[in-house]
Chain A
Amino acid sequence: MIPGPILDANVSALERAPRVLAAVRASALPADVDVWTTSQGEVSGRVGGVTLHHAEEPSRDARRWAAEAVDRATSANATRITVVGFALGHHLEALVRAFDGDVVVVEPDAGLLRLALSTRDLSDLLARVEIQTEQDLVGLENSCVVPYAPLRLLGGDAYAAAVKQCELAASRGVEGLRVLVVTPMYGGSHPIALQSHRALCRLGHDAELLDLADFLPSYQKLGLFGARPSRRRVTESLFSEALADGVAARVEEGGFDLVLALAQAPLGGNALEAIRRAGALSALWFVEDRRLFSYWREVAQHYDHVFTIQQGECAAEFRSAGAREVDYLPCAAAPDVHRPLALRAEERRVFGSDVSFVGAGYRNRRQSFRRFLDMDFRLWGSDWERAPEFDRVLQRGGTRVSTEDSVRIWNASKVNLNLHSSTYCDGVEPRGDFVNPRTFEIAASGAFQVVDRRSLLASAFDVGSEVVAVDSVSEMREATRRYLDEPEERARIAEAGRARVLREHTYDHRMESLVAQIVARHPARFSHGARPWTVGDARKEASGAVADYLARFDDATPFTLAEMVRPIPDAEGPLSEPEALFVFLQQFDDLYLSEYRR
């Protein structure tokens, strides 16, 4: 079958979505299209080698897909489903038959939509669903976002981006969540917890930090009991359980919507179940290599949502351990901390060198950094004991370096090495996937880095122009030498890297995304927990007479009918038009809507 022009019936049905219609009209059909009629007389098709629907039984297959989508929406109490991907519409036709609520469709590829509109009379479907463009998403609140998987294969990043946009739109207006951020007692995820908490506050949530590092001195003093190691582990475990119970007690008291725990936070199954009973959702941001640590296998099933810094098989592994929802959430930087510094000469002398590394002395780093000992190289950080070859370059006797000093070092060094740790390989880990926080932090600091290549690096940075990546220690040495001689190129790459972080990789971005993904899974729950709209919010979008009417209220006044009509009985003289309209809406609410509020 050769697709012809857009069918007239579809054009008339799409007239109520003029932007979409215009985009479709301006688009061309995708290349490599194959459309056919099945033996049952149904239309299916393939684009770029990806089959859009079942080749023989598209509507039957669509019913299965729709049933799953409805299950998902029902379990989330959603009244609206947002589908990313139109394809030829079979899945949407099945969905509107199976789902009573609203269906919104977002199709990032206008050409694909053109294909559907040129091949099938979809006027009934178009009358039932609302099509939106990803640039102009409105009214997705309380909606469950469901990607149509085949198009992810076809559209790759564009579809992933559209899904993310939809999730953000679904969470729009969700502010003021009560969030408890639980830190570990110590470790690399502790500062991430602090930054996450700050970002949540900046985003307008009512976030509280439960900093378990306060208990670290006591925990460390458990050794004073002088117990055997095996007995001591029992005591430590009971100590952790006591902390976990304390966290649950706090949640029971605090009326939280969400508990966000960072990796290594001492929360076990009992505490997480208590948190669930207290009515809060729980999320774990597992900012570690799942292959290196295994404790997540015991706790994943007790969290409502797990965020990982790894992709690929990672989600499947977490799910097989019982995790309900698993999403990718890479590391990030805090631009107010990780920032360019104007260093004084003295600071440059103390912290500066041609080449530096800040971090712990893992095996592969010990092996690799020997090869930089012929340069002006300084090594900062802990765990470099029993490596006398580094004595000359190791700073401050191998003590821990503060965040503020790390930023000074990165700013003062010409080339910052960034080699992801590995406990089993000697140099660059060949199957390294996630990107460590240091990559984002150095870039945010406006500093130049040479980083070992990770499979997920290219999705975060444009390799070559925003960071320099290498596949081996030899390449790292070679790149270091080369860029030492090219100060302008270093500056250009560092600046581009920083700009990218500011655009996409701050903790604000991560927390916004985390909240959006949680809200997308539990839309109805958060539509109630969300901060109510205030007059200030309404004023930003209002114009004309209603804007004038709103001027009489404080910005903080809740934007509700009750508040809008409250001053009216005391007013003298005729009602203004906005007053009368708000009274009308309030009467309408009393008359028709009270039963829906029960």
Chain B
Amino acid sequence: MTGQKILIVNLTRLGDLLQTSPTIASLRESDPAAEITLLVDKNFSEVCAGIPGVSRTIETDLDELGKCVLDGGRELLRAFESARALVEELREGRFDLALNYSSSRMSAVFMGLLRIPEVRGWCATPEGQRQISHPWSRLFATLCLNREMSDLNLVDHYRSIAGGNPGPQALLFETTTEARERARSLLGGVSQGRRLVAMQLGASRENRMWPRESFAQVGRDLQETNCHVVLVGGGRERELASAVRAEIGEHSTDLCGRTDIATLAAVLERSQLLVTGDTGPMHLAAAVGTPIVGLFFGPALPYDTGPYGVDHVLLHAAVECAPCAHSVTCLDAFCRREITPERVSIAARARLAGDWATLDELGSQPGSVRLFRTGFDSNGYFECRRLGGGPPPTEEVLRRAYRAVWLASLSDRPLPREGFADGVDTTPFASIVSMARRGLETAGRLETATRGGDGDLAEIQALGRTLAEVDANLAHVASVEPTVRPLTQLFRFEQESLAPGSVAALARAHRGIYGQLEFQANAMAAMLSPANVMEDSYASANQRG
């Protein structure tokens, strides 16, 4: 079908919108006549002008809606009316397909109101029940609840949910000639002959901000090695920037609050490097091809939201409690101090020089901080390769194994030929395998018993009880053994999303998801035991089965 009307719902921030850009390019590539509409929060709509392939942007003012809901009373009535008006406007768009990239019941209910024939991502049934309607959306929802075991980048989730062509291995943002001119004029005072290094000081939340003194020290170190530091950010960061700039000294420029998004992109384009936390400007730099030294701590994970591109350097404070849940209010964000300015200065200088040997050496230093180099695997999915060598830590082994399992079972990519490493207890996975087999077998018997609609009621009831028991046992293992939780969580989302139908049809569908669970658990157990040899992929396993 060509000329599809596609709605993409992404109500989060600047970075998330940029991370949607490869998906939009891929949709456009698959269907040049498609009409692609983005629904975005007003605060972040400016960036949409630079994302290629967007036909139309619809803004919603979440701040205003929030204010109305908080005020209550008459304002609550206004909130209701503005939500209703937005629903009306979107219904009038008569979309064929919606991609909902927000994982929340809120977005599900909202999508349910839009009456769009196909929704991928969270949606609600007419009865208000959550339904996650695409395997990659269900995986995304699963990994949101198990982030420490997630190894797939948000961009790849977005692309896989959209399906179709793989699209570019890059974020896309087009700045303008005028913006480039503004950037040139803003950087007019930059010291001749010095390399331009941008630093993004702020972040959306306090727990995502690297300490001011650390930025100042990196700035001083860099200007001593023939760099000119440009401080970038929004108006809110002016005070912070002016303090940092005062500490850095003469070879620095403060552009905080002085650039719109297009000009910021042009400034980053002219910079040889950006030093930043996990921020929107980090993704903007990735989109314009500027190398990044990215600092990940608190809730941020390099695999999840690292800059989608090659050869960026990411430092992650892999402390015990990382990644912290988004809802956590940390009383001592010591992880921010784990990443020392000395190490960041070395990383920045080495990245400027393209000196990967130094970076590798830096990654081999003891401590909680890990260094990564970004790139793409042989399947074309983003990956963070750990610098410094040495045996992989347990959680990395788990993440890599899970990554392989997801790609094999959802995208039919081959499993690695050999297992990864020893050291992870595979017993819980073996338990899941046996439970899944029991479920598979019981569902098969149930399908047979109910086919034709005249089965033995007592037998059907007994089989139903067995399946309930299997599911309870799966839940029990997952609560005791966190390593298997991604499997059981995904299974639950799959189960929840089964289309209503006859008992026989449901039993058949259950065979499918028990079978998938068995394959996944089996593959995990095998990969975590180095002696084993892998099945190629879920599809090839199925063919032989």
Give the B-binding residues of A (Cβ under 8 A): 139, 141-142, 173, 527, 532-533, 537-538, 541-542, 545-546, 559-561, 568, 573-575, 577-585, 587-593, 596-597
Contacts and interface: CB of A to CB of B under 8 A. Distances in A.
Nearest to B109: A584
B65 to A, nearest CB: 7
Contact of A591 (B75, B106, B112, B127): B106
Given A533-B72, A533-B76, A583 B109 contact: yes
A592 B128 contact: no
A574 B110 CA distance: 14
Among A532, A574, A581, A590, chain B packs the most CB atoms within 10 A around the CB of A581
B83 A584 contact: yes
A559 B128 CA distance: 22
B72 A532 contact: yes
B155 interface: no
A139 to B, nearest CB: 8
Nearest to B62: A592
A596 B124 CA distance: 27
Contacts of B71: 141-142, 527
A527 B62 CA distance: 22
A39 B41 CA distance: 44
A582 B70 CA distance: 14
B73 A532 contact: yes
Contacts of B83: 581, 584-585
Contacts of B73: 141, 173, 532-533, 537-538, 559
B76 A561 contact: yes
A546 B80 contact: yes
B69 A575 contact: no
A580 B128 contact: yes
A533 to B, nearest CB: 3
Q: Please give me the 6 A-B residue pairs with the lowest Cβ-Cβ distance, nearest first.
A: A587-B106, A533-B73, A574-B126, A584-B109, A575-B128, A587-B105
Given A546-B77, A584-B83, A585-B80, A596 B109 contact: no
Interface size of B as a range? 20 to 34
A585 B79 CA distance: 8
A43 to B, nearest CB: 26
Interface in B275-292: none
Contacts of B87: 577, 581
Given A542-B77, A583-B128, A585-B79, A596 B106 contact: no
Interface string B101-125: 0001110011011000000000010
A19 to B, nearest CB: 18
Contacts of A584: 83, 106, 109-110, 113
A188 to B, nearest CB: 40
A580 B109 contact: yes
Contacts of A533: 72-74, 76
Among A173, A533, A573, chain B packs the most CB atoms within 10 A around the CB of A533
A238 to B, nearest CB: 47
B423 interface: no
Given A588-B65, A596-B66, A580 B72 contact: no
A546 B69 CA distance: 16
A381 B380 CA distance: 101
Contacts of A142: 71
Interface string B80-100: 110110010000000000000
Contacts of B81: 546
Interface string B17-34: 000000000000000000
Contacts, number: 94
14 contacts: A141-B74, A533-B72, A533-B73, A538-B76, A561-B69, A575-B112, A580-B109, A580-B112, A581-B83, A582-B80, A584-B113, A585-B80, A587-B109, A588-B62
Contact of B126 (A546, A560, A575): A575
B206 to A, nearest CB: 12
Nearest to A546: B80
Nearest to B106: A587
Contacts of B110: 584
A150 B109 CA distance: 52
Nearest to B126: A574
A112 to B, nearest CB: 30
A408 B72 CA distance: 49
A560 B106 CA distance: 17
A596 B128 contact: no
A541 B105 contact: no
Nearest to A139: B75
Nearest to A549: B80
A559 B62 CA distance: 21
A333 to B, nearest CB: 32
B106 A574 contact: no
Contacts of A527: 71
Given A538-B73, A590-B106, A596-B70, 20 more contacts: A139-B75, A141-B73, A142-B71, A527-B71, A532-B73, A533-B73, A533-B74, A533-B76, A538-B74, A541-B74, A541-B77, A577-B84, A580-B112, A581-B87, A585-B69, A587-B109, A591-B104, A591-B106, A593-B69, A597-B70
Contacts of B80: 546, 578, 581-582, 585
Nearest to B129: A575
A559 B66 contact: no
A9 to B, nearest CB: 19
Contacts of B75: 139
A588 B66 contact: yes
Interface in B21-74: 62, 65-66, 69-74
A308 B109 CA distance: 56
A560 B127 contact: no
B62 A568 contact: no
A560 B113 CA distance: 21
B113 A574 contact: no
Contacts of A532: 72-73
Contacts of A542: 77
A493 to B, nearest CB: 42
Contacts of B106: 584, 587-588, 590-591
Contacts of A579: 128
Among A560, A574, A584, chain B packs the most CB atoms within 10 A around the CB of A584
